């Protein structure tokens, strides 16, 4: 019995060029996809590194810094061991990060009168960021000298803030510093430098 032989027609030049074009496109697509994923991974890693080492991003909880910072706002801090009087800083306290304003430096004398006005080394501190003055939660003996290597900090909502006026928080050491709060990024309507 004779075997039947089937013949298949070979593809034409146009069909071969079309298939070759499809294969090349598929290869380019996979290459672009791999490159895009690689770039995204590198950008994410760099962003995490920057956010962790130099510019931590923090969310505000509580009302101790109102009206300057409100609950739910997201801010960027800048890691620095140098701070200035009046700057808003973030610092570690009992596995939390607190945000307060620097009022006095090591060795300076703090006094707070009954109306809540602050003096540092006998000079009244100008505080345009406050809406109200209050003596607040105070259990230190006034006048109070800031210990060496420490900063005296206070919240902007003086009647509710627990800060260096209370021994529960006390003064802040350089080791506790997370950084200076420099910019509010969320919500967009409040975005801008923190003063």
Query: Tell me, what DSSP letter sits at residue 163?
Result: S
CA distance 148 to 16: 82
| CA-to-CA separations, 26 to 32, 37, 39, 128, in angstroms, rounded | 10, 16, 20, 63
Measuring CA to CA, which residue among 111, 109, 163, 98 is closest to residue 136? 163
Where is pLDDT greater, at 54 or 32? 32
The answer to whether 82 is a known catalytic residue is no
**Least confident piece of the model among 21-25, 33-37, 41-45, 134-138:** 41-45
**Which of the following is catalytic: 77, 100, 161, 164?**
100
pLDDT above 70 for 46 = no
* DSSP symbol at 75: E
- Give the residue-averaged pLDDT of 151-180: 93
Give the pLDDT of residue 82: 83
Asked if the bond preceding 176 is cis, omega within 30° of 0, the reply is no
57-193 CATH choice from 2.10.109.10, 3.40.50.920, 3.40.1180.10, 1.20.1290.10: 2.10.109.10
Which residues, in sequence order, are bridge partners of residue 177? 91
Q: Going by C-beta distance under 8 Å and a sequence separation of 6 or more, which residues neighbour residue 85?
A: 102, 103, 104, 105, 120
Residues 32-47, mean pLDDT to the nearest whole number: 72
Which residue among the candidates 64, 77, 161, 164 is catalytic per the annotation? 64
Band of residue 123 on the pLDDT scale cut at 50, 70, 90: very high
Task: Sketch the domain layout of the chain as residue ranges.
Answer: 12-53, 57-193
pLDDT band at 7 (very low <50, low <70, confident <90, very high): low
Is 4 an annotated catalytic residue? no
- Please give the residue that has the higher pLDDT: either 13 or 160: 160
pLDDT in tens, 56-99: 778 888 889 989 999 999 898 888 778 899 999 999 999 899 99
The band of 21, judged by pLDDT with boundaries at 50, 70 and 90, is confident
Quote the CA–CA distance of 109 and 152 in Å, as a whole number. 10
pLDDT of residue 54: 58
């Amino acid at each position: 019995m004779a075997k039947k032989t089937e013949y298949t027609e070979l593809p034409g030049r146009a069909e071969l060029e079309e298939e070759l074009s499809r294969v090349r496109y598929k290869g380019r697509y996979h290459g672009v996809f791999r490159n895009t994923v690689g770039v995204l991974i590198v950008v994410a890693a760099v962003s995490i590194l920057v956010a962790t080492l130099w510019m931590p991003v923090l969310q505000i909880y509580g009302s101790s810094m109102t009206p300057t910072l409100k609950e739910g706002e997201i801010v960027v801090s800048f890691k620095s061991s140098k701070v200035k009087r009046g700057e808003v800083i973030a610092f570690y306290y009992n596995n939390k990060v607190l945000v307060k304003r620097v009022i006095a430096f090591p060795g300076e004398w703090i006094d707070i009168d009954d109306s809540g006005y602050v003096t540092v080394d006998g000079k009244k501190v100008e505080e345009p960021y406050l809406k109200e003055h209050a003596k607040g939660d105070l259990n230190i003996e006034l006048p109070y000298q800031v210990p060496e290597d420490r900063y005296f900090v206070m919240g902007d909502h003086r009647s509710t803030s627990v800060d260096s006026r209370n021994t529960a928080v006390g003064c802040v050491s350089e080791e506790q510093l997370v950084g200076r709060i420099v910019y509010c990024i969320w919500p967009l309507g409040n975005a801008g430098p923190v003063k």
